[in-house]
Structure formats: C-alpha cells, structure tokens
Amino acid sequence: MWRCLGNSEARFTLLRMTRTMSKVEISEFFARLKKAMPNPKTELQYVNPYTLLVAVVLSAQATDKGVNKATAELFKRVDDPKKMVALGEKGLTQYIKTIGLYRGKAKNVIALSHILLEKHDGKVPRDREALEELPGVGRKTANVVLNVAFGEKTIAVDTHIFRVSNRTGLAPGKDVREVEDKLVRRVPDEYALHAHHWLILHGRYTCIARKPLCPTCMVRDLCHFKDKTRPEDF
C-alpha cells in the first residue's frame, strides 16, 4: 500500500501549480468522487482492527493485492496478538515471504503484538501516540488505522494522494506532511471521513503516475494540471 516517493514524485514538487483549487472547486471535486463511490473502502482485506493493523504494516512498499494474497491464509489462523505471538517470527515468515522486506516486517509484527498484550490488554489503541509507539507503525499507518478501524477523519498521505493533491492543485506540498496538513484544512468536513479513500482510489485507477487518464477523468475540468507534455514526471 505504501511506497516511498520516487524521483518522479519528488521532481513533481518543482512543477508547482500556479494556483490551488478554490473552496467551491474542492467541494465539487469531492461531490463528484462521492457520487461515483458513495462508500469507498480500503482494498486491504482484514477481519478486525488488529488484522487491519498487521495488514497495513505489511503493506509498506508493497501492493494491497500482494498483501491480501499473503494474509488470506494467515488471518484464518491468526486474528489477535496472542495467536500471533504463539505463531512466532519464524512461523509468520512462512505466510508473508512473498511480500517485500518480509523479515523485518515479521519482526515488527511480533514485537508490536507483544506490546499490545503487555500495554493495551491485547487491543489496538485508538490513540495516535500509542499507535506510533508500535514497531513498524508511523504516521501514515496510524492514520489508516484511525480512519478505517475507528472512523476518525484522518488522511494518510501515500504516493497516490501526494500525486493527486499536487497535480490537481487540491493541496500542493513539497512533502507528505505538508500535503496532509493542507488536506485536513481544505477538505470540507462532510467529505473528511472518506477523503482518504476517494483520493487513493482516484490516484490508483484514474490519476495514475505516468499517463493519467485525463480524457475519462470525472474531475478534469476542476483540475489545475497544465503541464501535459511531461508525463514521465508524474
């Protein structure tokens, strides 16, 4: 799900928009996305907050499809931290070895499971600070868990949201934190809960990196992306 911003994404920050979207444009932007996807959901498969947390940790620099393939059998056997600790690091690697960086991820999942049992009664905390104290959990992962598991109006900026926010003029920023902060301020409250998924899915399937599907884009007339001669930068 999460990937480091590549050189093309970094270069894009140099091609800043002449202006950002207006409040009216932003409201219309999300109204259209909502009409097309009334109830957007994460494409990661999970059965409870704990398995969601594990799936998001595993998704760093990996695709949702790849993670789902690996966890399909894992989550049939393991759905809480106690069972994960019993499985152990070696046992976990047998399920997730098709995922990139699986050894480090297995170590983090076992470690965070121990912490959940020792400090949180085996429950996933509904608290950003507590989540970010867990091994392998950063701000983006915490935002996903808070949004998906607990219905918090958080926005986890991955490479797709970073690209869409800059390219369209929705919330231009030089790094993911600047984009996140701008989105939190600019997204109308009525759309805040699902903004995270609307933007990810739009970036994943329409506003794609190298050759955005502008002719079929439902928000093309609102988009401030003007430099269409350098698709390699996006």
Active site residues: 140, 158
Give just the sign of the alpha carbon dihedral 148, 153, 158, 161: positive
Contact of 94 with 65, CB cutoff 8 Å: no
Residues 6+ apart with CB under 8 A from 154: 142, 143, 144, 146, 147, 196
Residues 6+ apart with CB under 8 A from 212: 167, 206, 225, 231, 234
Helix 189-205 / helix 139-148 crossing angle, nearest 10 deg? 120
Cα(27)–Cα(214) distance, integer angstroms: 20
Cα(14)–Cα(194) distance, integer angstroms: 29
Cα(92)–Cα(59) distance, integer angstroms: 15
| Structure letter (DSSP) for residue 188 | -
**What are the φ and ψ backbone dihedral angles of 140, each rounded to 5 degrees?**
-65, -45
Q: What is the CB-side half-sphere exposure of residue 132 using CA atoms within 13 A?
A: 7
User: In this structure, which amino acid lies at residue 75?
Assistant: F
